[in-house]
Amino acid sequence: MRAAPDSLSLTFSALADPTRRAILSRLAAGAASVKELAAPFQMSGPAVSKHLRVLERAGLIQRGRSAQWRPRTLEAAPIREVVEWAGEFREFWDASFTRLDSHLERLPMQEAPDESRD
């Protein structure tokens, strides 16, 4: 039996597609209907709905209901989890940049060519 994916894996999987990232960017500006979300893409309604289901399963969007309107809204909590996970690597990158700075400081300075000699 296969174990269910953890929430971070679901989030990364959902974010792996550029269409889904574009949908999330649009939802960062406010709620939108499926029709509004589908407008910038040249794909069928069912294809857009499939992307929305992936985002819902990952907890990145929520489906609302207001009369006949079914707006989707952004749920940013899973993205915070990604940021926290990636933040664990900050110490590694900071140390790498510190080593690069030290290396560059040890290199001999080269004079820039004098452009006035032409």
pLDDT digits (tens, 9 = 90+) for 58-78: 999 998 876 677 899 999 999
Is residue 57 domain-resident? Answer: yes
| Contact yes or no for 17/51 (Cβ under 8 A) | yes
| Contact yes or no for 74/60 (Cβ under 8 A) | yes
Distance CA 63, CA 85 (A): 27
If 0-12 CB within 10 Å is exposed, 13-18 middle and 19+ buried, where does residue 60 land?
Answer: buried
Number of structural domains (the chain) is: 1
Is residue 55 domain-resident? Answer: yes
DSSP, residue by residue, 48-107: HHHHHHHHHHTTSEEE--BTTB--EEE--HHHHHHHHHHHTTHHHHHHHHHHHHHHHHHS
Q: What pLDDT is attached to residue 57? A: 95
Q: Which domain holds residue 50?
A: 7-103
pTM of the entire structure? 0.73
Is residue 1 domain-resident? Answer: no
- The per-residue pLDDT of the chain, averaged, comes to 86
Is residue 65 domain-resident? Answer: yes
118 pLDDT exceeds 60?
Answer: no
Tokens found for residue 48: 């857009």
Distance CA 48, CA 15 (A): 15
Give the mean model confidence (pLDDT) for residues 7-19.
95
Is residue 108 domain-resident? Answer: no
Is residue 40 domain-resident? Answer: yes
99 pLDDT exceeds 90?
Answer: no
Q: What is the CATH number of the domain that holds 49?
A: 1.10.10.10
DSSP 3-state of 42: coil
Is residue 32 domain-resident? Answer: yes
AA letter at 38: A
Is residue 44 domain-resident? Answer: yes
